[in-house]
Structures are given as C-alpha cells and as structure tokens.
Amino acid sequence: MLRVIVLLAAALSSLHDFFPAELAHYGVVGGSVLVISGGQVSEREYYGEANRESQQAVDAETTFHWASITKTFTGIAILQLRDRGLLKLDDPVVKYVAELRAVHDPYGPIDAITIRELMTHSAGFRAATWPWGGDHDWEPFEPTEWSQIVAMLPYTEILFPPGTKHSYSNLGVVFLGQIIERLSGDPYQVYIDKNILKPLQMYASYFDRAPYFLLRHRAEGYYREKGVLRRAPFNFSSGITVSNSGLNAPLSDMAKYLEFLLGGGDRRNSSDVLKRSSLEEMFQKQLAIDASGASQTAGERGRDWIGLSFFIHEQGGRKYIGHGGEQGGFISHFYVDPAHGNAYIVAFNTDSSDAATNTHKLDAELRDYIFAHVFGVR
C-alpha cells in the first residue's frame, strides 16, 4: 500500500509539471484538470486565464462550458423516467415525439426507431442539428425553437438502417430532450436542475446564460485560426439543443458528478438521482466503434464502445466510462473507472485546428498521459 501511495504521489507531481507545459505548448489560454484516486479528489491543477482580456486567472470557481458532456445528464434523465415507469428504452420515439412521422425513412417505418437507438447514436439521424455548417455571420449559433426543428423534419432523412452502427447525432439528442420535457411537464433545464443537479449539490451549475451572481466566474472561449486568437460567443444560449450541449459548471461541481458516477459521494443523494443498477446499465456495451468510426456488434473485438449515452474505452484490462465536449471554444472530457475508484476531468478554453497548436491532439495526449502515468494503464 505504501508503495502505491508513493507511486501515486510521484505521478501527480509529474502531472503538476506536465499539464501547464502541454497547455502552454499548444497555446491554450486557460484550463484545469481534476483527478480522483481511490474515490477521493487527489489533484487539482489550474492554468492560465479564464478571460485573456481582463487577465482573470483560472481558479477553483471558474465556470467552464461542458458542451456535449451534457448528453450524459440527458441519458440519466431518460433512465430516471424509465425507472418511474413512464417509458421503455425500446419504445418507438414517435410514441412521444409524433412530429418525427414527417421524417423520410427509406429503411422502413419510422415507428421502428427506438429511444435506445437515440441514446446509442444509432438511429440514423444526421450529426448536425442544422443541415448546414453554421459558418456564415447571418446563420444562428444554434436553433432556438422546437418549431424550427419541426419545420426541417420533412426534409430530414434516415441515413442508414437504424441500430446497425454508431453515428454521432446531436439532432437525435434534441429528441431525447423533448421526451424529457413532455413526460415530466418541466422545461429540460428545470427538470435536470431539480432531479440531478440539486440532489448532487451541484449548486454552482446551470444551463446556458449565467445567473448574474455567477457571471464573473464564467470563462471565455477562444478559437485559434491561422495563428490568430479570437473570442468565441460569450454567455450564449444553446437554444433548443440545450439537452446536448447546455451545461456550465465549475470543476468542484463536476467532481461531485464524477463521485456519483463512481458510486461514492453522498450515497443517499446519489440513490435519489438514479439507482446504481440503472447507472451500471448505462455503462454496458451496446455497439463497438472501430478506429475508423464504424461500428460492430457488442460481441466483436474493439476498444471503444457506445453504451447508453456514455462512451466506453477499454485499455490495460480496465474499462473506462466517459464523454467529451466541444463547443464555443471549449474542449473537455472525463473518464471514470468505477472498479478502481479512479476518475479525472479536464477542460480548456481554446479550440485550435492549426497544425502546430491543434488542441484536439492535446486532448488525446492528456488522456494518454493520465492513463499511463496516473492510473498506470498501458
């Protein structure tokens, strides 16, 4: 045991040096990482600036935008509704969102597409919420109203036989958000706040625009293009896509979320959110994803899988549950290893596609470093 503690201390010391050096190398304005070892928070690192213009430093209260990590909260909400007897995962989506009958499905009746397929990104819907790139000044950042989505449904088609492969779809998660709202009677943000955030005591977390008293803690997002740094939209609304990208929170709140996923923290509050067997159901493999992004059935070889709204990565004989996020200049991801009580979460506020400062490469390097040097996974 003493040897393990010494090795962990050395690994965390190396992370203390590695993390700021990597973010500086890639030109990141600001970021943070939190590590949980053996069920306890063992390391927090803060780097750079939350706001470059005001030189506001990243600290324990800095609020990051978590983008698609929001999808895991959406999935938990769906399981809550399932456990309360309000839906079944293999129910047809049109049972709850009748407007989808307008979608063109060349592979069969639209009634065959299930809630489970939305959660595994295997329903056949396009990746983007809008059917265009959103790269013109006159185009909105995201749709703001459900009516805008409905207007596009007659011009939406299913792209492959549902259930046959994983193909990431933001649009599909919008439909999950609609199911939550229609069955609960609450707006999505209100439902998640009442049934997940407050029970986990994530009191500084919120969706979309900041409450006035937390605005000063919100980090700016930045894009780097051709060596030039520019600000991303600040304090924005994710509109009707809130169920796939609207969450904002400080690392201290996200630590409580990781503890919940690990099975620790305040167990009474955790069980109020979702019973452990249902959460572990979400961590089970549904479709395997090979290196090219294609999918196989769960019995075939593969290191990366999709569960129910969570991704699964296998390495070194361990199974890691995680998700990433990217929006508004922010990049983030987390992984939890419930079997060993380990987890980490990382976020930074600079998105760069430049060859020398590609922050997607940085994101992968951080994962590989923490797996190898902190969790001892080869």
For residue 298, give the CATH number of its domain: 3.40.710.10
**Amino acid 298: pLDDT:** 40
Distance CA 155, CA 104 (A): 7
**Amino acid 302: pLDDT:** 47
- Is the CB of residue 93 less than 8 Å from the CB of residue 118? yes
Q: How far are the Cα atoms of 14, 21, 228, 255, 369 from residue 18, in angstroms, in the given order?
A: 6, 5, 25, 21, 9
Give the closest residue to 84 by CA, choosing from 195, 207, 250: 195
Distance CA 285, CA 300 (A): 11
**Amino acid 295: pLDDT:** 46
CA angle 352, 118, 345 (to 5 degrees): 40
If you ran DSSP here, which 8-state letter would residue 278 be given? H
3-state helix, strand, coil in the chain (%, to 5): 40, 25, 40
- Is the CB of residue 108 less than 8 Å from the CB of residue 163? no
Q: Which domain holds residue 172?
A: 2-374
Give the count of domains, the chain.
Answer: 1
Give start and end residues of each alpha helix (H) in 140-273. Answer: 146-152, 170-184, 188-192, 242-245, 251-262, 267-273
- Structure tokens, 160: 């492959």
- Is the CB of residue 141 less than 8 Å from the CB of residue 88? no
In a 3-state reduction of DSSP, which class is residue 135?
coil
Distance CA 206, CA 214 (A): 10
Mean pLDDT per 10-residue interval, the chain, length 378 residues: 48 86 96 93 95 96 98 98 98 98 96 98 92 63 86 94 95 98 98 97 97 97 93 92 97 97 72 94 92 46 86 91 96 96 96 93 94 78
H or E stretch covering 249: strand 247-250
CA angle 153, 169, 260 (to 5 degrees): 130
**Amino acid 292: pLDDT:** 53
H or E stretch covering 312: strand 311-315
Q: How far are the Cα atoms of 5, 44, 61, 366 from residue 14, in angstroms, in the given order?
A: 14, 13, 24, 12
**Amino acid 220: pLDDT:** 97
φ/ψ of residue 27, rounded to 5: 70, 25
**Amino acid 247: pLDDT:** 98
